[in-house]
């Protein structure tokens, strides 16, 4: 998407060298800065420290990290070691494993001397495919928003989203935000309630920044506010992303998603998860039991960054010294609270039969 | 309760002059400072700017404000004018109206020259009564925690609370925290999950500070985390306060309470509201329809205060410039999600019949 009129992806391969460029998402919305990654270790650090984040972008970064690994040392042993490092960088997003499992067998089967070129080609393909998948997700989700707009005779459609599942969470377009970008571009009157998404505030920083840059009306709210808005009829649809979804339709996403799904269910607001099929973990049936939930550092809760009156980025502590904090990063929304899943092949029920109808090749 | 070994109330009348002392709660947990109020206007400002907050303390502050008003000008006209100013300072807490309605008729019936002394006596009585009510709430709530502790054979009882309904929200003891203080003092092994309670972070600042000062084990969490903890059996009971409760048992409390009540209901975790009967609005039957919800300034969402690395209190902006924010301050939890109401007269069902059983004098 565009940043100050210049088209960007969130990650791209350097045209000439074994380098990967990413947008430093820890600096947004205050500074737009890019970083250069030259090793797989740097790619893993960028994932762990959330310079890049969002399940699809984590997958793309892992793919690019394997390309860098091949440029560092294309031997079997070195490649496997660096793949392990990349896999360990974040435990919840299944796209990370998906990207590594897609590339490693192909690379190991290739002659060592050809691995770097092969890895570059595969990483580029994974990035390009992600863009196409997310565009397709947007086209399918657009129809849900269009239908709500028609039901409301063209009056504003109010969408609530949690965290950032926009183009910054993917290579381009986004998952949950892709239908919103497409709806806006199609002339539909849309307004987005943006959950700030504590503790890392990806909503208030990244989602608000993306929507603002595209000119889409939006209002930031505390994570506590969405239930109240739904009680009062101020939300027409919730659309969120996912970091891992089971074959049965349980949706793991940023912590707090489950609370919004409960409120949507209680107030009969449709609640959709938008995700590429690479986010589906076809090996899992019970999301609550089987999806590992990352516990992140407590200082993400006790401290927060922002801009001071002089325009400098400051990190401040917002809790008493001596108080502990816990920081589970994701939760699981059981499928019965999910109205449907928006994928690159269409919208389906959040169930095994629904997903298998769209992805029959997984019926194994 | 004690602050560094010194017993404090959150508000007290000056022993010699027409002055009222309060703790400046906007400076906690970083600085413990008291402020002196000398006019009703200053009392109203202290309520509006949340130097004092919490429904019972707002009521007590309004009572003390009327005492200051009498000292300023005890005429009917001046008194009524200042009562209106106090009533307008915050719209949701019914205790504010309760305190004013209790004092004004008595004051207007008294000779002008006696009003200051009468108001001082009444304000002192309202403060003292609040302490007794909250102590009684604690005694009744303690039995719920004791019972859970016995069910768990003495293992830690994990209580989740939202916002601050501790002694700082009242004159002393607190409402939701009163049972926790009493349980701890009774030797029960208790641990508190403290919702940070965005946007003003009363949980992460005031509740954590209170619990830490009393030596009670606690962990601060983002407001998003409570549902996940309940899904995994990590919460044994939720106890919250209330700013206004209908005669039918609908509980209005700090924004986000409703989301926790939904999660508690979904995971069969008991969910209690602890409140003195002055918080019950006996004129209302439908909380969602009838309780006015205060919309507070958007900069409470877009900016946040904390301590920088040098130990100074800094206010920083955490959202992009140009993004709007909305800030509804309360929500309403429908009675069917509330397991029970803990009052000064005991615990009852969240229903009209439940409340009337304890308060038969309201059966009019």
Residues in chain A: 364
Q: Which residue of A has its CA nearest to B310?
A: A316
Instruction: Inform me whether the C-beta atom of residue B302 falls under 8 Å from chain A C-beta atoms.
Output: yes
Provide the 10 A C-beta neighbour count for residue B346. 15
Contact A227 B317 (CB under 8 A): no
- pLDDT tops 90 at residue B282: yes
| Best B213, B225, B226, B309 residue to mutate vs chain A (most A CBs within 10 Å) | B225
Give the closest-approach CA distance of B301 to chain A in angstroms: 7
The residues of A annotated with a catalytic role in the active site are: 243
Q: Tokens 């800030």, residue?
A: B327
| Best B206, B224, B262, B292 residue to mutate vs chain A (most A CBs within 10 Å) | B224
What is the DSSP code (8-state) at residue B155?
P
Per-residue pLDDT of chain A (364 residues; tens, 9 = 90+): 888 788 899 999 999 999 999 999 999 999 999 999 999 999 999 999 999 999 999 999 999 999 999 999 999 999 999 999 999 998 887 889 999 999 999 999 999 999 999 999 999 999 999 999 999 999 999 999 999 999 999 999 999 999 999 999 999 999 999 999 999 999 999 999 999 999 999 999 999 999 999 999 999 999 999 999 999 999 999 999 999 999 999 999 999 999 999 999 999 999 999 999 999 999 999 999 999 999 999 999 999 999 999 999 999 999 999 999 999 999 999 999 999 999 999 999 999 999 999 999 999 8
- pLDDT tops 90 at residue B1: no
Instruction: Inform me whether the C-beta atom of residue B191 falls under 8 Å from chain A C-beta atoms.
Output: no
The reported pTM is 0.94
- Please give the span between the terminal C-alpha atoms of chain A, in angstroms, as a whole number: 38
B129-141: average pLDDT: 97
Contact B304 A308 (CB under 8 A): no
Q: Which residue of A has its CA nearest to B266?
A: A262
What's the number of CA atoms in the CB half-sphere (13 Å) around residue A55? 32
- pLDDT tops 80 at residue B287: yes
Which 3-state string (H, E, C) describes chain A? CEECCEECCCEEECCCCCCEEEECCCCCCCCCCEEEECCHHHHHHHHHCCCCCCHHHHHHHHHHHHHHHHHHCCCHHHHHHHHHHHHCCCCCCHHHHHHHHHHHHHHHHCCHHHHHHHHHHHHHHHHHHHHHHHHHHHHHHHHHHHHHHHHCCCCCEEEEECCCCCHHHCCCCCCCCHHHHHHHHCCCCEEEEEECCCCCCHHHHHHHHHHHHHCCEEEEECCCCHHHHHHCCCCCEEEECCCEEECCCCEEEECCHHHHHHHHHHCCCCEEEECCHHHEECCCCCHHHHCCCCECCCHHHHEEEEECCCCCEEEEECCCCCCEECCECEEEECHHHCCEEEECCEEECCCHHHHHHHCHHHCC
Residue B94's pLDDT band, with cuts at 50, 70 and 90, is confident
- pLDDT tops 90 at residue B91: no
Give the closest-approach CA distance of B43 to chain A in angstroms: 27
B334-341: average pLDDT: 98
Contact A222 B327 (CB under 8 A): yes
Instruction: Inform me whether the C-beta atom of residue A259 falls under 8 Å from chain B C-beta atoms.
Output: yes
Catalytic residue among B130, B195, B243, B281: B243
Instruction: Inform me whether the C-beta atom of residue B209 falls under 8 Å from chain A C-beta atoms.
Output: yes
Contact A306 B303 (CB under 8 A): yes
Residues of B in contact with A303 (CB under 8 A): 306
Give the closest-approach CA distance of B70 to chain A in angstroms: 39
Sequence spans of domains, chain A:
2-129, 139-362
The fold of the A139-362 domain, in CATH, is Rossmann fold (3.40.50)
pLDDT score at B89: 94
pLDDT score at B175: 97
CATH class of A2-129: mainly alpha
3-state DSSP call for residue B140?
Answer: helix
Instruction: Inform me whether the C-beta atom of residue A225 falls under 8 Å from chain B C-beta atoms.
Output: yes
Among A92-96, B132-136, B286-290, the least confident range: A92-96
Residue B281's pLDDT band, with cuts at 50, 70 and 90, is very high
B40-65: average pLDDT: 96
Mean pLDDT of chain B: 96
Residue B93's pLDDT band, with cuts at 50, 70 and 90, is confident
């Amino acid at each position: 998407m565009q940043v100050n009129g210049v088209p960007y992806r969130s990650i791209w391969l350097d045209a000439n060298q074994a380098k990967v460029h990413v947008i430093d998402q820890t600096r947004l919305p205050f500074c737009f800065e890019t970083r250069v990654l030259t090793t797989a270790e740097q790619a893993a650090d960028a994932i762990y420290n959330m310079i890049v984040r969002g399940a699809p972008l984590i997958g793309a970064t892992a793919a690019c990290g394997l390309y860098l690994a091949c440029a560092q040392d294309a031997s079997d042993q070195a490649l496997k070691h660096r793949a392990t490092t990349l896999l360990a960088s974040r435990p919840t997003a299944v796209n990370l494993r998906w990207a590594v499992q897609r590339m490693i067998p192909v690379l190991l089967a290739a002659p060592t001397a050809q691995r770097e070129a092969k890895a570059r080609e595969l990483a580029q393909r994974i990035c390009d495919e992600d863009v196409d998948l997310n565009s397709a997700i947007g086209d399918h989700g657009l129809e849900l928003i269009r239908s709500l707009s028609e039901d409301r005779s063209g009056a504003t459609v109010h969408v609530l989203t949690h965290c950032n599942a926009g183009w910054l969470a993917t290579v381009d377009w986004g998952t949950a935000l892709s239908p919103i970008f497409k709806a806006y571009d199609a002339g539909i009157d849309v307004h987005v309630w943006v959950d700030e998404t504590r503790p890392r505030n990806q909503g208030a920083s990244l989602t608000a920044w993306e929507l603002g840059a595209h000119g889409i009306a939006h209002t930031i709210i505390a994570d506590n506010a969405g239930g109240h808005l739904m009680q009062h009829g101020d939300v027409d649809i919730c659309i969120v992303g996912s970091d891992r979804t089971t074959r049965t339709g349980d949706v793991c996403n940023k912590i707090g998603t489950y609370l919004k799904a409960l409120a949507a269910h209680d107030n009969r607001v449709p609640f959709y998860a938008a995700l590429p099929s690479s986010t589906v973990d076809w090996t899992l049936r019970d999301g609550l039991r089987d999806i590992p939930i990352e516990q992140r550092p407590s200082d993400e809760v006790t401290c927060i960054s922002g801009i001071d009156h002089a325009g400098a980025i400051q990190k401040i502590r917002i809790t008493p010294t001596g108080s502990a904090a816990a920081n589970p990063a994701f939760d699981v929304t059981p499928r019965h609270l999910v109205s449907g899943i928006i994928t690159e092949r269409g919208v389906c029920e959040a169930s095994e039969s629904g997903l298998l109808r769209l992805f029959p090749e997984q019926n194994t």
